[in-house]
Amino acid sequence: MSLVSTGFLLFLLAGVIVYYIIPKKMQWVWLLVLSCFYYLCSGYKTIIFIITTTIVTYFAGVFLNKENERIKNIPAQADRSEKKKIKEDVKRRKKLIVALLLVIIFGILAVIKYHTFAIENINAVIGVFTGKYDTIPTFKLLLPLGISFYTFQSAGYIIDVYRDKYECCNNIFKFALFVSFFPQIMQGPIGRYDRLSPQFNEPHYFSLENTEYGLQLMLWGFFKKIVIADRIGVVADKVFLHPYDYNGIFVIVGVLAYCLQLYADFSGGMDVVSGAAELYGIRLDKNFRQPFFSKSISEFWRRWHITLGTWMKDYVFYPFSLSKKMMKFSKLMKKHLGTFAGKTLPICLADLLIFFLVGVWHGAAWKFIVYGMYNGIIIAASSLLEPVYEKMFKVTHINKNAKWYRVFQIIRTFILVNIGWFFDDAANLKESFVLIKNVFVNFSIKPLFDGSVRAMMEFSSMDMLAIAVGIAALFIVGVINEKGIDIRKSLAKKPLILRWAVYLMLVMSIPVLGYVSAETGGFLYAQF
């Protein structure tokens, strides 16, 4: 059931009406029913996978919770050696169950999402030695809805219980709601149990403010998706689907179009699902924070797909960089290369690992791995070159806090981000490099002014107006948010007539400026 469909809106409306009529203690049950219905409508053939992940994760959590209780309930009269033995036994058992659980749920994800990629690469290696490139046959599996999101969410939960951050969920149906909550199942954000579970369990009363806020956010998300993303995506497709046909400024226009499409589509999708959740009184984690105001690639990833970044930081970066082996490596580097290298190199290795995983998470293709490593290498190199930058600032007397320098950093980061999109959107790694190379072939800005770019885009005056309005709206809202102003609260304080004038303008702009074609479909990140 696409989020951009009349069916979804009717489903949402019916769900909200019943939600506030039924007894408050049954609200979480109704949310579970809605989530199950939504998932079945979107892909009933693959429901066994989310059920399996839910069941094994739930019982693993129960087991870990019991082991945590064993530690807390060690008899006071037990001697030191006995206490040590119990703790070591508990630690060993906990590690075993977490390892088994992660192997199961990530194994399911790996087989379903990456089996073809793995087989093709194994066949390629075999083919080098035998000349036969189809030794192992490939097969197709249906990709379950939201499998990457609910797998990461379940993994985060089990690691938190392992760390005794909170107690496990003692109701398998409530845990199933956490895993499958329908607004976020399709494309995130990746939720945390300690933030979502209390909201599912507490009673929610109908609120005009929640309803207004939720609908505001949904409208803004639909505006981004229908007015901006679907329209500009046509230009991106022209270039990325025909990489050998375009060069110079046309390729730059194509990658900028993809940048706008992806941001409007992905952040718009987050607005729609967050707004839908707010209608039920549930607040999801923020997933975007004006990423194109970033002054570095590392800052960009703290503002883009925030919940994926924080998941990687909490469950990969810190465990890896603070592991015993990394501590030994750090000491070794301090001894031979100095304090700075000892502190920085483990962090750089952790960054490279994280962005390798980010690349793999995006898809089963070498282009995504290169995309991840491209970002990781830039971040690692920036950390290693920090002393060089500091010396450069001293020699050149550049004021790092000057406005012109901040603008330079933002533009530089924007360019680096857009280079990365070549790997993200091209059909394969070869075409990514073809497009990058073609930027420098017959480069000229003349097509921007002689009508050639406009002809390539095949945009009418209405299309150009819609894109101009959309970009202006994104920029203005971004600047206001960057200043720390809460637009929704600020708007709520305005007179009723002014508020509804803004809402009506937004509502009317979608059918008037919206773009609908045979290619118009769901959100890009639904594929994950």
Catalytic residues: 362
387 HSE (CA, 13 A, CB side) = 7
Q: What type of residue is 397?
A: H
What sign does the dihedral 114-120-121-125 (CA atoms) show?
positive
- SS3 letters for 104-148? HHHHHHHHHHHHHHHHHHHHHHHHHHHCCCCCCCCCCCCCCCCHH
Length, in residues, of the chain: 528
Exposure of 210 in the CB half-sphere (CA atoms within 13 A) = 15
Query: Are 31 and 200 spatial neighbours (Cβ–Cβ below 8 Å)?
Result: yes
CA 464 to chain centre: 29
Q: Are 521 and 2 in contact (CB under 8 A)?
A: yes
Which residue do the tokens 């970033």 mark? 294
Helix, coil or strand: residue 453 = helix
Long-range CB pairs of 27-32 (<8 Å, 24+ gap) are 27/203, 27/204, 27/280, 28/174, 28/177, 28/200, 28/201, 29/173, 31/177, 31/181, 31/182, 31/200, 31/280, 32/173, 32/174, 32/176, 32/177, 32/180
Question: Number of H helices and number of E strands within the chain?
Answer: 24, 0
Q: What span, in angstroms and rounded, lies between the C-alpha atoms of 193 and 168? A: 9
Rounded (10°) angle between helices 172-180 and 147-162? 130
Q: Centre a 10 Å sphere on the Cβ of residue 268 and count the other Cβ atoms it contains.
A: 27
What's the CA gap between 366 and 359, in Å, rounded? 9
